[in-house]
Amino acid sequence: MDKAGHFYTANKIALLTGNAFRWSGMNVKTAALLGTGISLGYQTTLEFLDAYSAEWGFSWSDVAANTLGSGFYLGQELLWQEQRFLLKFSAHPTEFAALRPSVLGSSFAERLLKDYNGQTYWLSFNPAQFIHNSKFPAWLCLSFGYSAHAKIVGDQDFYTDIVGKNYIAQREFLLSLDIDFSRLPVKRPWLKTVLRQLNYVKIPFPALLLRNGQLTALPVYF
């Protein structure tokens, strides 16, 4: 989950800065390269700061995730001049944060950032972009999610609470629907700009969840 977060953050920094350069009048390639460079520079600087922190330390795997996230943005810009595969984020409160509030968060805002069990990273795309003359709505997406369950300790998959109850961390995979707000049939430029910012998060929809080999249908998931 930590690496998914690095991938997502690096991608969004590259996207945000790249779009700003395109808005200023730069061509697609130059804007994409600058956005990618700024994202990598910012994230790598943080990794070097972590290297001097006794609590964290330098991580090559974090650098790799940052590079892949930025490269995911750059590759799409160079190939299609747009982002056909969107990275999104969603989160919800879980009961696991109460087991280690100092680590997983004691408030809603802290849990939003620290509790991996409530976080989900999504990859959304519109099938119509790859099918000629498709009647699939341009704004409707399929979305694949990745999350964790009972992940109490960052570097361990097993945890026992004070009453002796055992928790075993498990991966979760999800399939859902999503909305690409940049492709909604909106004519007003200012409203289109506002709606596009919602593409950072995944909208609640019904979902299929796969955990430990068991498939569960959820009426709504966020």
4 exposed, middle or buried (CB, 10 Å; 0-12, 13-18, 19+)? buried
- Condensed to tens digits (0 to 9), the pLDDT of residues 2-55 reads 899 999 999 999 999 999 999 999 999 999 999 999 999 999 998 888 777 766
pLDDT score recorded for residue 187: 87
Helix orientation angle between 28-51 and 60-80, rounded to the nearest 10 degrees? 170
17: which 2 tokens? Answer: 């800065």
CA–CA–CA angle 20, 26, 27 (5° rounding):
120
56-60, 106-110, 193-197, 207-211 — which is least confidently predicted? 56-60
- Together in a domain, 107 and 62: no
Domain range for 63 is 1-81
- Together in a domain, 108 and 201: yes
Which of 48, 81, 114 marks a domain boundary? 81
- Together in a domain, 90 and 142: yes
Rounded to 10 degrees, the C-alpha dihedral 62/66/69/73 comes to -170
Q: How many domains does the chain have?
A: 2
pTM of the complete model beyond 0.85: yes
Residues 120 and 173: beta-carbon distance below 8 Å: no
